[in-house]
Amino acid sequence: MSTYSRPRPPADRSRHHVERAEAALIGHYARLVRLAYLTLPPALGRHRRVLAAHGTVQRSLRGVRRGRREPALPAQRGEPSSDYAWVRLRVLRGALAEGTRTGWWPPRLPARHALPLRLPAVLGLRLFPRAGGAGELALDQALSEVRPEVRAAFALLLLDGLPSEAVRAELAQADGRDPGGAVRAAERLRSAHEDAGALLRSEEFDPCTVHTRPTDLIRRRRRARFAAMTGALAVLTCTALAVTSGPPDQGRTAAPVAGPGSAVVDPARLVRAGHGGWADSARVDFTVWPARGSRAGDRALLGRALGAWASPAGDVTVSAASGTTAVPPSAPARLLYAGEADGDAVVLLHDGQRLARYTEPGPDGGGRALDLARADDADVTSAAAVALTRGGGSVRYLTAPWIATAATRDLLDPDAPARALEVAADGVTPAVPRPMAGGGCGESWPALQLRSSRRIVERHSFLVTDLGDLSPVHLTYTPPPGRGAPARQPREATSGPALVSWARSVCLLRGMRDTGVRAVNDWAFAEQDLPEEAGRAVWTCTRVDTWRGPGDILVRFRPPARALTAPGTVVARRADTAACGRFGQHMVAQARWQAPSGRWYVLAAGSRAVTRIETAGSVRETSAGTTLAVPAGREAPVTASGLTRDGDTLRALGTG
């Protein structure tokens, strides 16, 4: 006879009925889902993150049975009940465990964690919370850069109003890593954002109030066709095998083969978006451009354009931007424009990844032309305009349907006001000047200033400039770090300081024509008082992002100059680097500088997170803060490095 007896639960465990737990979950469902949404990894994407948050809460009671003894938590000050705190702990465990996933499979965790093994199924729709303003966007960016425990602590502090000690205890019971450090990081995050509590309670972070949009309909049709073709191929294969394995005297019939490219050259198969769909879409890019132009119904012209893309004849000159393939489209393309511009017939097409511009000259023109350029992952700014024609030092654009106004301005004259343009009803601009195509910078650098419609965003103006590709280049600006301010993010280059900065930077773009550039950001990452009271210098990193993905940087030292457009000295160049971008936000640079007295110095400066700079070599010096200036001979070997607040060492870019 067995003498084993089940041990009794500890005295601090009490019976926790399922009905009470379910009542707490339902009564505070929105609150729990918001906590899970904030804790879950932003890398999931907004759609999967919304579903994962609801799934985490809905299955937080999985494994709880009637009459089973479960741990009970005492009610925290200001909380509705211990039942809610108990459910919240299970939700928190599940959300934190989701952050440890690697790959597609759920993590292997103890049964008490009750991690959801599946998500609510939503087919054919994408879900996402309503967009907030600039404050919500900055907070979302800051939260995406910290670990899940910090996001959880931030939510518990601001949403549930728990004191720091209670949050630390809750994270420890949820098996979170370094609860104390997470609480301290959350406190710093709260102090860095004004009205953080109100921002966190906004619709930007509410997974219960969501917009719905369809998934990529073109991709769904492609997948459906692929599935049908796969099924038909399987049937034909089985039939062929059955015929082959039959008696030798049986006849064999060859399977029919479809003509290649028949769908992609048929004008009737062109995809056309509705004229007002862009205002109700979560994806504001080329996929919501309606078909415009006086010849959008000219099937003969459209057929010639599709034929030139699918199988260009000898009289068609094909050119592809850097990193762009010239292969035919794999499915019917989308028609964006077909009309007359400067005496030429122009057709603009989009296949989901690339733009294609077909040009058919008038009677006095030359041969036909097809220009291709990448346009994948375009957005409200990089899909805002396309060059229809170029010639004679000017360019004519087709603007996106969400562009409300357009103007031109000279980037080399930041004080001059922008000049408004009269854009036609179909979105075509007049011929406007473009930057000089030669090696020089010229006396002016024209740019296009666009403003989006209030139907998608309020007061959103931005700058683009022509560098020879189909899409103009988006110009942005990141201001110098403010005293005690959080890390700055790139913003539109339309303010006074941004225009002054670009006046000294825009001539650097003249060597980037026809290289597939998507966007350029001018980042003033440090300011420095020069020795001998020689004024204040600015350190700038100009980052060039391409449609291919890699980015190049130019680091400059800009001492005070009489000329407003003086670019300063380029001290470093790097290709295919993450520096000065979203994934390389910390940097140190150094330069050699001669004071008005004739004395030479080694100068170094770091971005906001740098706390100390030191030099090695013939001169050894240490300076607390983000800048350093040390006398050194013109040829003395000196290298600088910086230390960040996180303990990382950054080697300085530039010449010592």
CA angle 614, 617, 620 (to 5 degrees): 40
Which range has the top average pLDDT, 64-78, 93-107, 311-325? 311-325
Q: Check residue 119 and give its pLDDT.
A: 55
Q: Which of 213, 230, 259 is the last residue of a domain?
A: 213
**Listed residues 213, 239, 263: the one ending a domain:** 213
Which tokens sit at 466?
């022509």
In this structure, the answer to whether residues 328 and 193 fall within a common structural domain is no
Same domain, yes or no, for 311 and 167? no
Q: How many CB atoms lie under 10 A from the CB of residue 19?
A: 9
Whether residue 118 is contained in a domain is answered as: yes
Structure tokens given for 476: 């942005």
**65: confidence class by pLDDT, cuts 50, 70, 90:** low
Tell me the C-alpha to C-alpha distance, in Å, between residue 139 and each of 38, 192, 585.
11, 9, 17
Q: CB neighbours of 642 closer than 8 A, spacing ≥ 6?
A: 588, 604, 606, 610, 612, 613, 614, 626, 649, 650, 652
Pick from 477, 545, 292: nearest CA to 403? 292
- Residue predicted with more confidence, 160 or 384: 384
Does residue 225 carry a pLDDT above 70? no
In this structure, the answer to whether residues 154 and 295 fall within a common structural domain is no
Residue 70 scores a pLDDT above 60: no
Rounded distance between C-alpha atoms, residue 304 and residue 102, angstroms = 49
Query: With 50 as the cut, is the pLDDT of residue 425 above it?
Result: yes
Domain assignment of residue 295, yes or no: yes
Q: Which one of 165, 181, 213 terminates a domain?
A: 213
In a domain, 360, yes or no: yes
Rounded to an integer, the average pLDDT of 398-417 is 95
Question: How far is residue 156 from each of residues 100, 162, 270, 553, measured CA to CA in Å?
Answer: 20, 6, 52, 40
d(CA 144, CA 196): 15
Residues 117, 114: Cα–Cα separation, whole Å? 9
The predicted model gives 308-325 an average pLDDT of 91
In a domain, 262, yes or no: no
- Amino acid, res. 305: A
Does 205 share its domain with 123? Answer: yes
Specify burial of residue 408 (Cβ count, 10 A radius: 0-12, 13-18, 19+): middle
Please give the pLDDT value at position 516: 92
Total structural domains in the chain?
3
* Residue 76 CA, distance from chain mean position: 40
Q: Which tops the pLDDT comparison, 511 or 430?
A: 430
Shared domain check, 121 and 30: yes
| 465 has a pLDDT exceeding 70 | yes
Instruction: Using DSSP, state whether 177 is helix, strand or coil.
Output: coil
Spell out where 310-445 has E strands.
316-320, 334-341, 344-350, 354-360, 368-374, 385-391, 394-399, 403-410, 419-420, 432-433
Local confidence band at 260 (pLDDT 50, 70, 90 cut-offs) = very low
Residue 453 has pLDDT above 80, yes or no: yes
Provide the CA 235 distance to its chain's centre, in angstroms: 43
pLDDT of residue 322: 87
Angle (CA) 551-554-559 rounded to 5° is: 155
45 and 124 co-located in one domain: yes
The answer to whether residues 203 and 312 belong to one domain is no
d(CA 356, CA 274): 20
Please report whether residue 134 resides in a domain: yes
Chain-centre distance for alpha carbon 334: 24
Q: Which of 205-219, 331-345, 576-590, 593-607 shows the lowest mean pLDDT across its residues? A: 205-219
Gyration radius of the chain over CA positions: 31
- Say if 5 falls within a structural domain: no
pLDDT recorded at residue 392: 82
Q: What confidence tier does 74 reach under pLDDT thresholds 50, 70, 90?
A: very low
Per the CB < 8 A criterion, the answer to whether 465 and 455 are in contact is no
Q: Which domain holds residue 318?
A: 273-376
pLDDT for 252 equals 29
pLDDT at 78 (0 to 100): 38
Q: Read off the pLDDT of residues 516-540 as tens digits, 9 standing for 90 and up.
A: 999 999 999 999 999 999 999 999 9
476: left (phi > 0), else alpha (psi -120 to 50), else beta? beta
Other Cβ atoms less than 10 A from the Cβ of 313: the count is 10
Sequence-ordered list of residues with C-beta below 8 angstroms from that of 599, at least 6 positions apart, any chain? 532, 631
Examine residue 648 and state whether it is found in any structural domain, yes or no.
yes
Q: How confident is the model at residue 583 (pLDDT cuts 50, 70, 90)?
A: confident
Tell me the mean pLDDT in the region 264-293.
91
190 three-class SS? helix
Q: Directed axis angle between helix 82-98 and helix 148-158, to 10°? A: 160
Identify the pLDDT of residue 22.
81
For residue 519, which of 541, 542, 501, 539 has the smallest C-alpha distance?
Answer: 542
Q: What percent of the chain has pLDDT over 70?
A: 80
pLDDT confidence of residue 619: 92
d(CA 535, CA 532): 8
Same domain? 202 vs 103: yes
Out of 49-58, 252-261, 374-383, 563-572, least confident range? 252-261
- Averaged pLDDT, 331-350: 95
What is the pLDDT, as a whole number, of residue 258? 30
Is the same domain home to 38 and 136? yes
23 and 169 assigned to the same domain: yes
How large is the average pLDDT for residues 403-429? 95
- Residue 131, judged by CB atoms within 10 A of its CB (0-12, 13-18, 19+), counts as middle
Q: Which of 41-45, 175-179, 349-353, 376-380 has the lowest mean pLDDT?
A: 41-45
Does residue 295 sit in the same domain as residue 157? no
CATH of the domain at 629: 2.60.40
Rounded mean pLDDT, 341-367: 90
Q: How confident is the model at residue 23 (pLDDT cuts 50, 70, 90)?
A: confident
Do 208 and 309 lie in one domain? The reply is no
548 belongs to a structural domain? no
pLDDT digits (tens, 9 = 90+) for 227-239: 656 665 665 555 4
